[in-house]
Amino acid sequence: MTVKSANAALPPHPQRERENLCIHQRRHLPADLGITESFGAAIHALNTSQLTDGVINRSKRMMLDTLGVGLLGTRTAVFNKALKYSQLFTSRERSSVWGKSDIILPPHYAAFVNGIAVHSMDFDDTWHPATHPSGAVLPALLALAETLPSQPSGLDLLLAFNVGIEVQGRLMRFSKEAYNIPERFHPPTVVGVMGSAAASAKLLGLSPEQCSHALAIAASSAGAPLANAATQTKPLHIGNAARRGLEAARLAQIGLKGNPAILDLDSGLGVYYKDYSPSAMADSAVRAYKWILEDQDVAFKRIPAHLGMHWVVDAALAAREKLQNAVGKFDLSQIRHVTLRVPPSKYVNCPLPATEHQARHSFQFNACTALLDNEVTVASFGDAHIGRSALKELLGKVSLETPEDNLPSFDKMYCEVEIATHQGPSYKARCDTFYGHWRKPLTLKHLVEKFSVNASSVLCTEGVEGVIDVIGNIESVAECSILGSYLRMTSNQERLDRMRIL
Amino acid sequence: MISTVKKAIRPVWAARAIHKSAVDVLKQPAPEDTVTASFGKFISEIKPQHLSPVVLHRSKRMVLDNIGVGLIGSTTDVFELALQHCQNMYAPGDTSSVYGRRGIRLSPILAAFVNGVATHSMDFDDTWHPATHPSGAVLPAVLALSDMMPANNKPSGLDFLLAFNVGIEIQGRLLRFSNEAHNIPKRFHPPSVVGTMGSAAACARLLSLDPTQSSHALAIAASLAGAPMANAATQSKPLHIGNASRLGLEAALLASRGLEASPLVLDAVAGVAGFSAFYEDYVPQPLESPSNDSHMFLLEEQDIGFKRFPAHLGMHWVADAAASVHKVLVGVGPGTISPAQVEDILLRVPKSKYINRPFPESEHEARHSFQFNACTALLDGEVTVQSFTPAAIGRPDLHALLSRVRLEHPDDNPANFNRMYGEVQLTLVGGDIVKGRCDTFYGHWRNPLSKDSLRKKFRSNAEVVLPSEKVERLIEVVEDLDQLRDCRNLLSQLQ
C-alpha cells in the first residue's frame, strides 16, 4: 500500500453515462416512457370498448379451436402423466381440468395440464411471427377466473385473452430472428409466458407497475430449447408458459418486483434473441387501438402436426390426384421415387420417425401418409399407423430438397411434391398456401366442425353445443363460469370408464 | 481453461445431409455414444465409494454454509413473500420442512422453492468457478426429496451426500462446455441454467432412476432452465435459485413417471438447439462412466468460494481493498473516515454492467454495487449483514462518499472470478493518496475460510432463527454426515 503526497490536479469527474444510472434516475431525466413501462401501462389501461369487431371475431375463433384441441388432448399419454404428477398438489383454490367432471387442481396446475392438453398433439393455432399464442393464455385465464371471488364476464375474459395475444405479438416484432422458423428457443416458451403473465395481470386488475413486474418475473421463467420439440416434453412448453405466466402475475400481485426495464434491456428479454430491438407499446389511451390480430390472423390446423406439414400434405394430395387422374387408379407400386421440396428446417426433417412426436415433425412422414391414405388425420399418428410396412417402404423412396427460394418462414414457404413413376412420367404439385393458413382461413363451418369432432371425444352433446354457444356469444355472457361447467360435461363413456377403474 | 474447452473432440453427431435419401443408413450415433446418455449413465451408476475424502470434506462445508445461509435468509421479505405465495396457492402440505419456521411444512416442490429463495435471498451463498451458485440449487431439493421418502427408507447420510455431489458435479461439467461460462455472466444467470440441471441430476440420483430416466430428467430440466441477467440485482433474483431447485426436482419426478424428452439435449446438433441454446459457444464432452473405483469429481480440483458478507462475489475484492485503506487511515481501533477528508475515490475493477451501480436504491442493488461495498468498507472497516439495512443504505456519510467515486476498468482486470482483482485508491483533500489492492479475498477458493471462520459464519446466521442447541447439533450432524445411518437427524434440525 502506498501513501503518496501529490499535488497533481485530479481529472474532472467523468460525465456519467446514461446507461450507468440506475433506472430511477434515468426516469427523472427528460426522457420518454420506458418500454417496459409502456407495456405495463397498456396492459392496465386497455379496455373492452377498444375491442373491434374484427378482433372479437378472430379471437373467439381462437378460443373455440383451443378448447376443442385441448379437450381432445386430454386423452394423450403426456397429459395423463402430467395430470398424475399434478395431483400431488392440493389447494384451497380449485380450478377444473378440461374434460374431467370431477378433478380439480390448484389453479397453477390446472393451467399446466390444460396447456399441455392443448399442445399435446401439435393441433393448436399458429401465428406469424411464429408461435402458438392461444395455448399459453387461455388455460391460465380459465384457471384463474375460477378462483376469483366475483366471476369475470365473458367480455372481461375476451379482453384479457386479447391482451395476452397482443403482448406476444408485440414482443415477437422486437427481432428479425422471430420471423423465421425457430432454431434455438421454442417461441411459446419465450413470448407465451409473457402473454400469460400479461393476460393474468389484466384479469386480476393489477396496477400498471404491477403489470410491468409481472412481465419481469415471467421473463425469468422464459426460454426452453428447441431440442425438446418433437418429443413428449414439447407440450409442457405450452403448459409451463401458461402456469408460470399466471404465477408471475400472482407474485406481482403480492408485491414481488423484478427489473422494471426487463423489456428494454439486452440482458432482459433480449437474451433470447440474437438481434433485439424493442419498442414501446402503442398508445393505449386512443379510442381506436390497433390490435395486431386485426392485421395478422392466425392459422388453424387441420392436421395434428407441425404447421409446415400442412403445405406438404396439401401438395402430396394434389400430386396424388394428378397421378390418379392420369392413370385411372392410384397404386403404390407405381411410385419409383418421391421428391419433397421444402424450406430448410432441421427439426421437421425426420426421414424415419419412431414416435408420434417425431411423426408430427416430419415432412417425409406426412407426405407419405397423404400419398398412402389420401388423407392425414388424428388417427394417422397412432403407433399402428406409424409402424405400417407399406408406409416404411414408401418412406424409403423419399428424398428432400431445400431450394434456395424456399424460405424458412411460415409467411413465405411453399412445399412441392414430385412423384416419379416406374412407367416414366412424373406428377408434380405445389402448395403455396394451405387451407387453414391465415391467407386462406378455415370457414366458420369447418372451424366449428373441427371443434365438434374434437370435443365429442370427451364431452357429451350438451357440453359440445354449450361451449359453441357460450363462445359464440361470449360478449353477452354475464359470468364466464358457465363455460367451465360445459367443459366438465363429460360423455357417458368417460364416466363409465372411470367407474370401471373405481 | 480456454485451451481445455477448445480441445478437439470427436464429434458425436454428424450433421444430417439434406439431400440424402432415406434408404442410406443415417449417421446417427448409437444411443450409448451420446453426451446426453453418458450423463444419464453417470448419474445412475455413481456410488458412495467414489467420493474421495477431499470431496467429502469440501461438500460437507458447502452443506453447512448453505443451511446457515438459508436459515438467515428465512428472515427476508422476499422469502416471506414466496412463502405466502405457496401457502395461498396451495393447501398445507405436511411433507417437507421450511427453513427456520417451526411447524411449517410444504409439499416437496414448494419447500424446495422457498428454501432455495431463502438461500439466495441475501446473495450470501457459495460461488464456484466457472461462475455459479452451486449449492443453493441442489441442497433444498435434496432435503425436500429426502423428507418425501418413506420413514422406513430414508437415505443415509452418505446417500444424501452422494446425491448432493452429483448435483454439484453435473453443474461443473456443464459449465465447462463453453468459454462464455468462464466469465462473469452477461446473458443468462448461471444458476438458472446449470442449477436446474444440477438439481435434476441430484434428485435423479436420490430417486435411483435408471440411466435413461436420468437422461430424460436432464432433458426435461433443460426446458425449465434459463433466466435473464436483468433480474439479478432485483428482488426476483433469489427466485432463480428457488426455481432451479424446485424445477430440477420436478423434472426428476416427471422422469420417474415416464415422461420423455430429447435424448440429445446435451449434444450439439446443428440447426436444433438443446442445452446449447443458452450459450454462444458450445462444445459438450461426455462424462466417463464411473465403472472402476476412480472418478475425479471437479470439486476435488476446484474448490468453492464462501462469502463473508451477503453481496455479489465481486464485492469481496473491493471490500477487502477498501478495508485495508480504512485501516491505514483510522488505525487499528474502531473509527471512521470522514467524507470531508476525501477528495476522490477511484476503483479499479473489471467491467461488468450489473455490478456497477453508483447509487443503489434497494438492498438488492446495494449487494450488486462495487461503489456501495467499497464505500461501506471505507466508512466502517468491513461489510456485514447489517450493512444492507435501509438505515445503513441511506446514511448521508455513505452518500457523500458515493458521490466521489469513479470507476476504471484496466485491461488486465478481466471479468472472471479466477483472475480479477480490486483496487481502491483514495485521494485525500490535500493530495495524499492511499491505495489498497486485493487479489484474493479471504474466503476465495485460493484462500479458503478456516473451519473456525466457517462455523462462526454459520452460527451467526443460524442463531437468528434457531436456538443454540439446535445450531450446535446441526454443526455436529453435518460434520459426521457421511457416517449417519439415517438423514432424519439432519432433516429434523432445520426448523
Chain A residue numbers touching B358 (CB-CB < 8 A): 16, 20-22
Q: Is the confidence at residue A94, as pLDDT, over 60?
A: yes
Least confident of A8-17, A420-429, B65-74: A8-17
**Under 8 Å between Cβ of A128 and A439:** no
Question: Helix, strand, or coil here: A415?
Answer: strand
Q: Is the confidence at residue B263, as pLDDT, over 60?
A: yes
Could you give the C-alpha distances from A367 to A46, A264, B19, in angstroms and in order? 44, 43, 17
Which of B90, B345, B425 is the best residue to mutate to test the A interface, defined by the most A CB atoms within 10 Å of its own CB?
Answer: B90
Residue A361 to residue A364: CA distance in whole angstroms = 9
Confidence of residue A23 (pLDDT cuts 50, 70, 90): very low
Average pLDDT, rounded, for chain B: 90
Residue B234 to residue B229: CA distance in whole angstroms = 10
Residue B432 to residue A3: CA distance in whole angstroms = 7
What mean pLDDT is predicted for residues A83-100? 92
Does the distance separating the beta carbons of B230 and A262 come in below 8 Å?
yes
In the prediction, which pLDDT does A113 show?
Answer: 97
In the prediction, which pLDDT does B50 show?
Answer: 92
The single-letter code of the amino acid at A245 is G
Evaluate if pTM is beyond 0.90: no
Q: Which phi and psi angles does B373 have, rounded to 5°?
A: -70, -35
**Under 8 Å between Cβ of A153 and A478:** yes
Residue B274 to residue A88: CA distance in whole angstroms = 29
Chain A residue numbers touching B406 (CB-CB < 8 A): 13-14
Residue A113 to residue A109: CA distance in whole angstroms = 6
Does the distance separating the beta carbons of A398 and B433 come in below 8 Å?
no
Residue A17 buriedness (CB in 10 A; 0-12 / 13-18 / 19+): exposed
Regarding predicted confidence, which is higher, B253 or A5? Answer: B253
Confidence of residue A24 (pLDDT cuts 50, 70, 90): very low
ipTM for the assembly: 0.78
B329: left (phi > 0), else alpha (psi -120 to 50), else beta? alpha
Q: Is the confidence at residue A14, as pLDDT, over 70?
A: no
Confidence of residue A493 (pLDDT cuts 50, 70, 90): low
In the prediction, which pLDDT does A286 show?
Answer: 80
Residue B310 to residue B165: CA distance in whole angstroms = 24
Residue A351 to residue A365: CA distance in whole angstroms = 7
User: A224 is written with which cell numbers?
Assistant: 426452453
**Under 8 Å between Cβ of A239 and A12:** no
In the prediction, which pLDDT does B183 show?
Answer: 81
User: B146 is written with which cell numbers?
Assistant: 429426502
Closest partner residue to A233 among B220, B234, B328, by Cβ? B220
In the prediction, which pLDDT does A435 show?
Answer: 95
- Cross-strand partners of B348: B408, B423
Question: Helix, strand, or coil here: A258?
Answer: coil
In the prediction, which pLDDT does A496 show?
Answer: 59
The single-letter code of the amino acid at B473 is R
- Say which DSSP state B101 is in: -
In the prediction, which pLDDT does B29 show?
Answer: 60
Q: Is the confidence at residue A6, as pLDDT, over 60?
A: no
Closest partner residue to A5 among B78, B265, B431, by Cβ? B431
Q: Is the confidence at residue B15, as pLDDT, over 80?
A: no
Does the distance separating the beta carbons of B224 and A3 come in below 8 Å?
no
Tell me how close the Cα of B228 comes to any Cα of chain A, in angstroms. 5
Name the helix (H) or strand (E) containing B425: strand B422-428
Could you give the C-alpha distances from A175 to A170, A269, A279, in angstroms and in order? 10, 11, 10
Cis peptide before B467 (omega within 30 of 0): no
In the prediction, which pLDDT does A497 show?
Answer: 59
- In percent, the amount of chain A with pLDDT more than 70 equals 91
Name the helix (H) or strand (E) containing B342: strand B342-348
Does the distance separating the beta carbons of A347 and B230 come in below 8 Å?
no
What mean pLDDT is predicted for residues B361-383? 94
Tell me how close the Cα of B488 comes to any Cα of chain A, in angstroms. 23
β pairing state of B105-106 and A426-431:
unpaired
Q: Is the confidence at residue B100, as pLDDT, over 60?
A: yes
Does the distance separating the beta carbons of A13 and B228 come in below 8 Å?
no
**Grid cell 360435461 — which residue?**
A489
Confidence of residue B7 (pLDDT cuts 50, 70, 90): very low
Does the distance separating the beta carbons of B273 and A228 come in below 8 Å?
no
Rg (CA), chain B: 23
Q: From A338, which residue of chain B is nearest by alpha-carbon distance? A: B21
User: A456 is written with which cell numbers?
Assistant: 365429442
Q: Give tens-digit pLDDT for A288-301.
A: 899 999 999 999 99
Closest partner residue to B228 among A227, A268, A346, by Cβ? A268
In the prediction, which pLDDT does B94 show?
Answer: 82
Q: Is the confidence at residue B8, as pLDDT, over 80?
A: no
Tell me how close the Cα of B310 comes to any Cα of chain A, in angstroms. 19
Q: Angle between the A35-45 and A208-219 helix axes, to the nearest 10 degrees?
A: 120
**Grid cell 454459520 — which residue?**
B458
User: A279 is written with which cell numbers?
Assistant: 419498442
Q: Which phi and psi angles does B142 have, rounded to 5°?
A: -65, -40
Confidence of residue B3 (pLDDT cuts 50, 70, 90): very low
Tell me how close the Cα of A237 comes to any Cα of chain B, in angstroms. 7
Which of B76, B85, B86, B234 is the best residue to mutate to test the A interface, defined by the most A CB atoms within 10 Å of its own CB?
Answer: B234
| Residue closest to A357 by CA, chosen among A196, A477, A228, A467 | A228
Name the helix (H) or strand (E) containing B197: helix B196-206
Q: Give tens-digit pLDDT for A298-347.
A: 999 999 999 999 999 999 999 999 999 998 888 899 999 999 999 999 88
- In percent, the amount of chain A with pLDDT more than 90 equals 84
- In percent, the amount of chain B with pLDDT more than 90 equals 81
Which of B16, B26, B89 is the best residue to mutate to test the A interface, defined by the most A CB atoms within 10 Å of its own CB?
Answer: B89
Which distant-in-sequence residues (6+ apart) come within 8 Å of A354 by Cβ? Answer: A386
Does the distance separating the beta carbons of B229 and A22 come in below 8 Å?
no
**Under 8 Å between Cβ of A308 and A413:** yes
Tell me how close the Cα of B481 comes to any Cα of chain A, in angstroms. 30
Could you give the C-alpha distances from B139 to B34, B266, B453, B473, B495, in angstroms and in order? 28, 23, 21, 18, 15
Q: Angle between the B35-45 and B211-222 helix axes, to the nearest 10 degrees?
A: 120
In the prediction, which pLDDT does A32 show?
Answer: 54
A/B interface, count of CB pairs below 8 Å: 261
Helices (H), A87-185: 107-119, 133-145, 154-172
Which distant-in-sequence residues (6+ apart) come within 8 Å of B385 by Cβ? Answer: B72, B122, B124, B309, B310, B460
**Under 8 Å between Cβ of B116 and B243:** yes
In the prediction, which pLDDT does A319 show?
Answer: 96
Chain A residue numbers touching B240 (CB-CB < 8 A): 220
Q: Is the confidence at residue B65, as pLDDT, over 90?
A: yes
Does the distance separating the beta carbons of B324 and A84 come in below 8 Å?
no
Residue B294 to residue B303: CA distance in whole angstroms = 19
Dihedral sign (CA A473, A156, A51, A441): negative
Rg (CA), chain A: 25
Which distant-in-sequence residues (6+ apart) come within 8 Å of B321 by Cβ? Answer: B374, B422, B423, B424, B436, B437, B438
- In percent, the amount of chain B with pLDDT more than 70 equals 92
Dihedral sign (CA A129, B236, A257, A150): positive
In the prediction, which pLDDT does B21 show?
Answer: 37
Q: Give tens-digit pLDDT for A110-147.
A: 999 999 999 999 999 999 999 999 999 999 999 999 99
Q: From B237, which residue of chain A is nearest by alpha-carbon distance? A: A258
Q: Is the confidence at residue B333, as pLDDT, over 80?
A: no
Confidence of residue B17 (pLDDT cuts 50, 70, 90): very low
**Under 8 Å between Cβ of B156 and B388:** no
Q: Is the confidence at residue B233, as pLDDT, over 90?
A: no
**Under 8 Å between Cβ of B405 and B358:** yes
What mean pLDDT is predicted for residues B143-155? 92
Q: Is the confidence at residue B11, as pLDDT, over 70?
A: no
Residues B20-25: contacts with CB under 8 Å, at least 24 apart:
B20/A351, B20/A399, B21/A396, B21/A397, B21/A398, B21/A399, B22/A351, B22/A352, B22/A364, B22/A395, B22/A396, B22/A397, B22/A398, B22/A399, B23/A396, B23/A397
β pairing state of B105-106 and B405-408:
unpaired
Q: Is the confidence at residue B6, as pLDDT, over 70?
A: no
| Residue closest to A193 by CA, chosen among A258, A146, A106, A285 | A258
Does the distance separating the beta carbons of B89 and A250 come in below 8 Å?
yes
User: A47 is written with which cell numbers?
Assistant: 379496455
Least confident of A208-217, A331-340, B155-164, B293-302: B293-302
Confidence of residue A427 (pLDDT cuts 50, 70, 90): very high
Q: Is the confidence at residue B76, as pLDDT, over 50?
A: yes
Average pLDDT, rounded, for chain A: 90
Q: From B190, which residue of chain A is nearest by alpha-carbon distance? A: A220
Which of B84, B203, B224, B356 is the best residue to mutate to test the A interface, defined by the most A CB atoms within 10 Å of its own CB?
Answer: B224
| Residue closest to B425 by CA, chosen among B357, B358, B348, B341 | B348
**Under 8 Å between Cβ of A368 and A400:** no
β pairing state of A95-96 and A104-105:
antiparallel
